[in-house]
Amino acid sequence: MYEVSTLDWFDVPLVYSDHAILRAEERDMKIYSYLPVASELLKCKDDGSCTFKFIEGDMYIVIVVIKGGRVLTLYPAGYVVPKVKAKKVRRKKIIKGKVKEYRYEKYPFLEIQSEIYDYA
């Protein structure tokens, strides 16, 4: 097993194979001199090839590197989707001086029921 930590690869200059250069030109991708600092090690095989993933703009980029910093290929691996937490919808209702709270994500039928009573 070769270097299995991402930190071991940051100071290794990348040398691109002919295949990697052609693929980068076809896919309109940058050619990196060094592995980006924010890259993540996905997997490392016994033959010494390691796969790294990092974010460039709004795309995930995957680079396959072998020992010595030789890049076999690089390709886009999809768009970055921002993580947005769903807002919890709660409705408060005052009944006989007490505040009653409804959680519609847990009991969705209450929303329909309250709309029917509000309409009437």
Give the pLDDT confidence of 8-18 residue by residue, as tens digits.
778 888 999 99
The span from the CA of 65 to the CA of 71, in Å, is: 4
In this model, does residue 96 exceed pLDDT 80? no
Highest mean pLDDT range out of 1-10, 59-68, 101-110?
59-68
In this model, does residue 6 exceed pLDDT 80? no
pLDDT digit string, tens, across residues 20-78: 999 899 988 888 898 888 888 888 888 888 899 998 888 899 999 988 889 998 989 88
